[in-house]
Amino acid sequence: MSVSVRIPTILRTYTDGSAEVRGEGETLRDVLQKLDADFPGIGARILDETGKIRRFVNVYVGDEDVRFVDNLDTATPPGVQVSIIPAVAGG
């Protein structure tokens, strides 16, 4: 199932500068595995060494923050947009 994945500026070096790429999978886990297969190294920037979404990375499927849905098991229906958003801190 094809989905759109929005890539933040900081990770675009992995996608040859593309702000949006196509992804595939029935769940967010599947989409991220395919994303890492297509763009090696990007997965380690999104997931930690235990395979969980990094603390300072927010991921949305459509308008839903996956941390409040099913995390990596969140369904990714065809055509949905997956957004990867690094948290910004400052003061």
87 pLDDT higher than 90:
no
For the chain, the maximum distance between any two Cα atoms, rounded to a whole number of angstroms, is 41
pLDDT on residue 58: 96
74 pLDDT higher than 90:
yes
The band of 1, judged by pLDDT with boundaries at 50, 70 and 90, is: low
Instruction: Give, as one character, the DSSP assignment of residue 54.
Output: P
55 pLDDT higher than 80:
yes
88 pLDDT higher than 90:
no
Taking the C-alpha atoms of residue 23 and residue 34, their distance in angstroms, rounded to an integer, is 7
Taking the C-alpha atoms of residue 89 and residue 91, their distance in angstroms, rounded to an integer, is 7
pLDDT (average), residues 10-37:
97
Secondary element (H or E) of residue 36? helix 28-38
**What are the chain's domains?**
2-86 (3.10.20.30)
90 pLDDT higher than 70:
no
